[in-house]
Structure 1
Amino acid sequence: MAETLHLEVVTPEKAVFSEPVDDVVLPGFLGQMDILPGHLPMLSVLAVGEMIVTREGTSRHFFVEKGYVEIFDDRVTVLTEGCSGVNEIDVEHARRDLERYETRMAELEERSKTELISEDVFEQHRQALKRERMKLAFAKEGKIVE
């Protein structure tokens, strides 16, 4: 059994990093997943949340958007829509996005009183609101607190 994992994180824009780690905690849909060396092979869906990477006793926190994780032979590959460290988040942009989604949600709720709005549309807006709120909390605290 290897003493470390090789973690690779890839977004549509770039490879975020590729390095050995001792432990990685990922936001699964049913809760946090802690991946250690020797983990069984697995393919899973990721939720929006915090990724914690530990190497030699030092932990780094990242905000990840939804995606997938594959674990095989002590290699962890994360394919995500976005991955940012606390210093990489544009707080003003996230605030503007949050305000925009809040306005759109209020408009949708008002429109739903007189016309049929798909539940999928509401769910997309709820997820966008959640993502922006979590992003702002992460930027403020350096980690996500739920």
Structure 2
Amino acid sequence: MAETLHLEVVTPEKAVFSEPVDDVVLPGLLGQMDILPGHLPILSVLGVGEMIVTQGGKTRHFLVEQGYVEVFNDRVTVLTEGCSGVSDIDIERARRDLERYETAMVELEERSKNEMVPEDIFEQHRLALKRERMKIAFAKEGKIVE
């Protein structure tokens, strides 16, 4: 059994992370997943949440958006729509975006009283609200990304 995992995190824009790690915790749809060396192969969906990476006794925190994770032969590949550290988050922009999505959600709810609004539109807005709320909370907590 290997003593480390190779973690690779890729967004549509770029490869964010590609390093050996001791442990990675990811936000699964049903809760956190802790991936250690020797983990059984899996393919799973990720939700919006915190990714915690441990390397040589140091812990690093990232905010990841929805995506997928594949674990195979001590390689962990995360394909996500976004991955950022606390220093990458523009908290004022996140607040403006949150306000905009909250307003849009109220408008959608009002519109749905008179016409059929597809559920996937609501789901997209709920996900956007969660993402912006998590950005604000993540930045306020001051998680350190080294």
Unmatched runs of 5 consecutive residues or more in structure 1: none
Question: In the alignment, which residue of structure 2 is the partner of 1:76?
Answer: 76
Q: CA deviation at 1:116?
A: 1.8
| Residue 81 (structure 2) pairs with residue 51 (structure 1) | no
Q: In structure 1, the residue corresponding to 2:135 is in which secondary structure?
A: helix
Tell me which moved more, 121-130 or 27-36. 121-130
Question: In the alignment, which residue of structure 2 is the partner of 1:106?
Answer: 106
Q: What amino acid is the match of 2:92?
A: E
Q: In structure 2, the residue corresponding to 1:104 is in which secondary structure?
A: helix
Distance in 1 (CA, whole Å) between partners of 2:49 and 2:67 is 11
Paired residues for 1:1-146 under 5 Å: 1-143=1-143
- Number of aligned residue pairs: 143
Assess if the C-alpha contact under 8 Å between 1:22 and 1:56 holds in 2.
Answer: yes
Q: What amino acid is the match of 1:45?
A: V
Superposed CA RMSD: 0.9
Unmatched runs of 5 consecutive residues or more in structure 2: none
User: Could you tell me the TM-score, scaled by structure 2's length?
Assistant: 0.95
Q: CA deviation at 1:108?
A: 1.0
Deviations 1:97-117 (A, max 9, x none): 101101101111111222221
Q: CA deviation at 1:142?
A: 3.1
User: Could you tell me the TM-score, scaled by structure 1's length?
Assistant: 0.95
Q: CA deviation at 1:6?
A: 0.5
Q: In structure 2, the residue corresponding to 1:110 is in which secondary structure?
A: helix
